[in-house]
Chain A
Amino acid sequence: MTSRRLRLAGVLARRGAQGVGVAVVVSVLCFLLVLRLPGDAAYRIAAGRYGYDLVDQEAAAAVRAELGLDRSAWHRLGDWLIDLAQLDFGTSLVTSRPVAEEVGYYLLGTLQLAAVALAFAVVIGAGAGVLAARRPSGPVDRLTTAWVASVRAVPPFLLGLLLVVVFSAQLELLPAVGHGTPASLVLPAATLGLGLSGLFARVTRDAVVEVRSSEYVQFARTKGLAERWVLLRHVVRNAAVLVVPYLGVQAVVLIEGVVVVESLFSWQGLGHALVHAVFWRDVPVLQATALVLALLIVAVNTAVDLVVLWLDPRPRGSGVSA
C-alpha cells in the first residue's frame, strides 16, 4: 500500500510544519514581550526572585543585563530564535533553575491530569452519546442535549468552584487543593473531564445516529448479520472515523482547561507554571510552557491523523466527476 505510506508522509510533513510555525509564533510573541517590558520589569523580576523585601537597584540592574536590554532588537531576535532551535530555553528568572528541567517536571503533572480527564470525558461522553443514539429524541437523548448545553455554558473555573463547594467544603470528601496524591487528582480531573464530556456526548451521538442509518449498516443487517455483529464490525469503526478527528479539535479545549483547572486547584502543571510566569514576567518559563502546551496540541492532532489514517482507507478529498 504505497498510497498509504504517501499519506503517512503527508501527515507527518504537515504536522511537522505546523509545529515549527507554532514555535515561531509563540517565540516571536514572547520576544515582543521582552521588548515591551515596562521599565520596572527588571525590578519586578528581581522581586520575584529575591522577594520584595530584599530587592534593591543592584539586583534589578543584574536582571536587566541578563535580559540584554541594551543590544539591538534584531540582534536579540536572532539570538532568541537560535537558542530556541537548539532547544536552549535558558534559566528561570525567578528560581534560577534551568527551564528545561522545570518544564519537564510540570509536563509530567499536566500529562497525568490530561490523561485522566480525557479518559473520564471519553467514558462518560461516549457512553452518554451511544445511549442517546439508541433512541433519537427519546428521553435519554433530550437529557444529553440539556447536559451538553449546560456544560458548555459553565466555564471550567466555575464548574471547578462548584465542585469544590460541594465535595470539598460541604461534604468534605476530597481535598480542594494539592498535588501528588490520587485523591487530589479527582476534583481537577473531574472538572476538566466533565467540561469535555458534553461535547463528546454530542459528537458521539450524532456519529452513531448517522452511521446506524447509513446504507451500509442497513445492508449489513439485511445480509443476515446479527445486530451485535453489525454494531461491532460496522458501527463502531465508522463512528470512530467521525469521532476521532473531533479529539483533535478538543485538544485546544483540553489545553485551555488545563491552564484554568491547574490554577484553580494549584496542580503542579504547565498551566499553573504559565500563569505564574505571566504574573512574574518570567519570560524563559513563559516561552517554554506556552511552547510545550501548543506543541502538545500539535502532538494530539498528529496522533489523531494517524489513527484516522489507520481506521479509514479512503483518500481525503478525492473524486473525479463522471
Chain B
Amino acid sequence: MTDPNAADTLVVHRAVVRTPTTVLVDVRDITVRAGRPLTIVGESGSGKSVLAHALMGTLPPELAAEGSMSIGRSRFDLAERAGRRSLWGRQVALLPQEPALALDPTMRVRDQVAEGAPGWRPRETAALKRADDRLERLGLEGAGRAFPHTLSGGMAQRVAYAAATIGGADILLVDEPSKGLDRESLDRLAVMLAAHVERGGLLVTITHDLGLARRLGGDVVVMQDAAVVESGPAEEVLTRPVHPYAKRLLAAEPSKWSAPWTRDNLRADEAAEPLVTAHRVSKAYTGKPLFQDLSVEIRPRERWAVVGPSGVGKTTLGNALLRLTDIDAGWVRHSGTTRGGRIQKLYQDPGLAFPRRVPLESSVRDVMRRHRVDERHVRSLLDEMGLPFAILRRRPGQVSGGELQRIAIARAMLPRPVVLFADEATSRLDPVSQATTMDLLMRQVTGDGCALLLVTHDLDLAEAVGARQIRLGADEEASL
C-alpha cells in the first residue's frame, strides 16, 4: 500500500472513560502494529468493550472520554467525537458484539454489505457485485438475497464481517466475537481474523475467550476494574501470568478445572431404574427437525450433557425430557421417585427465573412452606454458596447475575431433587464466576446424589463435568 495515510500503527497514549460517578476505563500506552494482533481479555464489566467504543468514537453521550490516540502520524483527541467519523469504514472498522442485532432486519444482506463499499451510490451495480464477491469468499454464496432473521449466528457474523471490512479499513476492532458461537463458527472466525492480519491489517480483539486469544497470538492485554493489570506476548501472558487476577482468569478455563468432582465421577448403576426415560422422541420446529428418534435413559447420579451450537434445539430437548414441552413423536416417562417437585431446572438467565417484582425472600419462603424446609437449612445452604441470608430481602434485579444464579441453585436444592437440569446456567457469567458457580453447583449435585442434565454450547465445560454427551445439529450451517 502506498497510501500516505496508510496506518501501520495505532497508539493509545491515554484513554479515560467515566460516568458521573465511576471510572469505567483508565489505560495508557497501548501500541498495535500491522501484522501483530492485540487481544484484550478480562471479566465482563472490566471496561474492555467501553475502551473499544472510546477508540472508535461511538460511546453513548452519557459517557465522557478523554485522552488521545495516534493512527500513523495523525493524532486524535478522544474527547472529540465528530473528528473520527471520516475514518469509519475507510481506516477504522468495528465488528460489533451481537452481529444479529447489528444487521438491519428490514434490508436484504447484500445491500447492507454493499453500502459499506467506498464510493457507494444507491442501486449501483459495482458495489453490489463487490458485496456478492465478498459474501462468496466467506462461504455465503446465495445468502445475499436473504433477510438477517433467516441467518444462523455464525452466518450473521460473517455477513457483519463482510460489511465492516468492505470499506477497506486497515484497523479492525472486534468486540466479543465468540458469544454464542459453536466450535465450527469459532474456527471460521479465527481464520477470518488471522487473514486480516496477514493482509497487513491491524487487529484489536476484545474477548473473554482465552482460547481465541491463544489462537490469534500476538500480544495480550489483561484488564480488570477499568485498568490494565498485565500485558505482553500471548505465549507468555497466557501460560505464565504474573498478576494474581490473570492467574485466576487462566485457572477458570473449564479445561483447567481440577476440583474433586471432576475426577470422582461415579459410574451410574446400570441396573438402577431410570429416573427419566425418553423413547424415540422427535420434534421439529417450522419444518426443520431439531431431533429425531432420540432415546435416552437418565439414571440416579448420572451426568448427561446436551451439546451443540446455539439455536439447534438443545434447550428444547432438555425441556422435552422434563416434559415441559410437547413432542411430535415418541414418549417420555418419569419414575415415581421424581414426584413431588424432585426434578428441578436452572436457567440461563436467573433474572427471569424468579418473579421479578417481589423480594426473593417471599419466593423462597413459598418454597420452604411447600417443601417443609426450615430456615436453618436455607441459611446453611446460602452460607455454602457464600451468600448472607439478608440478600433475600432484595428483588431479583437488585443482585448480580452470579449471586442470583447461586440463589437459584440453593432454591433448586430445597426439594432435594433427584434430577437437576442446568440450561446454559453459567454461560452468561464471566470465566471466574463461571468456575465458582459451576464448582458450587457440582458440590451440591454430588453431595446430594442428584443426576445432572447439562445443556451447553461449551464442549470443554461438558468434558470437565465428565458428562455423557448428546450432540445436536452438526450440519445446521448447510441449511438456509
Contact = CB atoms under 8 A, between A and B. Distances in A.
A266 interface: no
Contacts of A314: 105, 147, 149
B253 interface: no
B259 to A, nearest CB: 26
Interface centre among A219, A223, A237, A312 (most CB of B within 10 A): A223
Contacts of B56: 222
B167 A241 contact: no
B383 interface: no
A238 interface: yes
Given A233-B115, A238-B104, A313-B147, A224 B98 contact: no
A80 B88 CA distance: 69
Contacts of A233: 104, 107, 115, 122
A214 B147 CA distance: 17
The interface residues of chain B, by DSSP majority, are classed as: loop
Of the four ranges (under 10, 10 to 19, 20 to 34, 35 or more), the interface on chain B belongs to: 35 or more
B164 A220 contact: no
Nearest to B86: A224
A322 B314 contact: yes
Interface string A211-252: 001111111111111000100011001100100000000000
Interface string B135-172: 00000000000010100000000001001101101000
A216 B58 CA distance: 13
Contacts of B285: 320
Contacts of B242: none
A321 interface: yes
Contact of A222 (B89, B112, B120, B310): B89
A253 interface: no
Given A312-B105, A313-B147, A220 B315 contact: no
Interface residues of A, number: 28
Contacts of A218: 58, 96, 102
Nearest to A240: B106
A312 B316 CA distance: 28
A219 to B, nearest CB: 4
A320 B102 contact: no
Contact of A219 (B60, B163, B316): B163
B424 A215 contact: no
A320 B311 contact: yes
Given A238-B104, A322-B314, A225 B96 contact: no
B20 to A, nearest CB: 16
A311 interface: yes
B164 A215 contact: no
Given A213-B60, A233-B122, A314-B105, 9 more contacts: A217-B104, A222-B89, A222-B96, A225-B120, A229-B122, A313-B106, A313-B147, A322-B311, A322-B423
Question: Which 8 A-B pairs rank lowest in CB-CB distance, beginning with the nearest?
Answer: A224-B89, A223-B116, A219-B102, A322-B315, A313-B147, A215-B101, A216-B104, A224-B167
